[in-house]
Structures are given as C-alpha cells and as structure tokens.
Amino acid sequence: MALVTGAGRGLGAEMAVALGGAGAEVLVMSRTASDLDQVAARIAAAGGRAKALVCDVKDGSQLRAKIGRLDRLDVLVNNAGMNIPEPFVDVSEAHLDEQLALNVRAAFLVAQTAVRKMLEAPDRRERGGAVINVSSQMGHVGSAGRTVYCMAKHAIEGLTKAMAVELAPHNIRVNAIGPTFIETPMTAPFFANPEFREWATSRIPLGRIGKMEEVAGAVVFLASQAASLITGASLVIDGGWTAQ
C-alpha cells in the first residue's frame, strides 16, 4: 500500500500512476476530490488499484483520521508542496508562513503520521517500509528569488537524514528526491517564456528540462526492493545542475 500526497495533478499524479503500474495499491491524497478521482481512474484503467483520500495535509487531525483508519501502509511519497518565487526583501510574513506551513510543517506531520501506521504492521521488520520525501535540487544549492523555498527544501533534506537514522532499526528506509525544473502543466506557462526556459536549460548540463516520468521512475526505484540498502540518501534528478 502506497500513499502519495499532492497527488491530484502534476508530478504527484504521475508518481501515483507509476507506482500503480509497478503493482502497488495506491492511495492518492489531496484537497480536491475531482482531481483525485481522475488520477484514480487513470490507475484503474491501466489495470492498477487506487483509492482517493481527500485531506488537507496541513491539518494534523485530518491526517490522523485518514491515515489512522488504513489497514496498513508500506510506502509514503511525501510530495505536497508549493513555491512563491519573489525577491528576498519582498517576502511577506504571509507568504513565509504559507510556504513553511505546507513545505515543512505539513511534510513533517505527514511523515510522522505515516510512520506511526507503518510501525503497526506485525510483519514490519520483515517487509519494512519506505518513505520518499520530495525535496528539490534547491535543497542542495541556493537560488535568487527562492529563499523560502530553498530554506524549506534544505529542511526536508535534514529531516530525511534524521528520520533515516532513527527508523533504520525498524527496517523503514527514508530517502529524498531532488528534481530540477520539470515540464508539468503548472510549469508550462513559465517555460512558454523563452528567457526563463533559456535561463533554466543553460544551467542544466544535459541541456533540457526534465520530464515527469523521469522523476516518477526514481520514486518507483526508491520504493522497491531494488533500493533495499539505500536510506538517508538524496537522489538528485537534475541533469547535472548540482554537480557544478
């Protein structure tokens, strides 16, 4: 059983579909039922199994109610997040609080609630569990106009390492993924601007923007037994951005 947050659209939806295609029963979670129903239908149409869980991940009581009633949980993809690009000196307290509430506080609560459920499984030590925190290449570097986002994703990288060390005795692996700029419906308007596309691609040694399936493939790998000795790692899917 795999849970994907922020699964209603974009990367979250593609990661959920990929996990369904790999044989997992997928729980897709976001605040919008209509989006989740579409993703669940895609998974079912491909022969997979999926269930929609409408939940605001910023609400701890909702999380505990939704996840707490599950029979079991084996994989968490902790994906819900946001970004408000703007100059550092212009960041308002409202924007600061909004981003940290979702990107850090909610990510922590989702992980904590999911791991509590994983620990309940009687066969936990044998089967283990996997947590995949969705970070960013910006969790490894800095970037103008993205100070709050960089701060939040650096926090996720630290959380990943600490969780990995603490949960290893329970056979629960915890890793992060760090995508570069990815072509999604949400980013399409930005990449329609030739200057922005040139700025992004010029910093990626492979010379192109990433595709959603490339990120989804990394998630399937980290969730699988092929990654059974990998924990506390951050897999950057960045075309070489952070290697410079």
Q: Name the catalytic one among 51, 58, 66, 149.
A: 149
The confidence score (pLDDT) of residue 124 equals: 76
Q: Name the catalytic one among 51, 58, 117, 153.
A: 153
Sorting pLDDT into bands at 50, 70 and 90, what band is 5?
A: very high
pLDDT in tens, 20-78: 999 999 999 999 999 999 999 999 999 999 999 999 999 999 999 999 999 999 999 99
Q: Per residue, what are the HEC states of the chain?
A: CEEEECCCCHHHHHHHHHHHHCCCEEEEEECCHHHHHHHHHHHHHCCCEEEEEECCCCCHHHHHHHHHCCCCCCEEEECCCCCCCCCHHHCCHHHHHHHHHHHHHHHHHHHHHHHHHHHCCCCHHHHCEEEEEECCHHHCCCCCCCHHHHHHHHHHHHHHHHHHHHHHHHCEEEEEEEECCEECCCCHHHHCCHHHHHHHHHCCCCCCCEEHHHHHHHHHHHHCHHHCCCCCCEEEECCCHHHC
161 is catalytic: no
149 is catalytic: yes
pLDDT in tens, 116-158: 999 999 887 788 899 999 999 999 999 999 999 999 999 999 9
The confidence score (pLDDT) of residue 125 equals: 79
Percent of the chain with pLDDT over 90: 94
The confidence score (pLDDT) of residue 187 equals: 87
* Architecture label for domain 2-243: 3-Layer(aba) Sandwich (3.40)
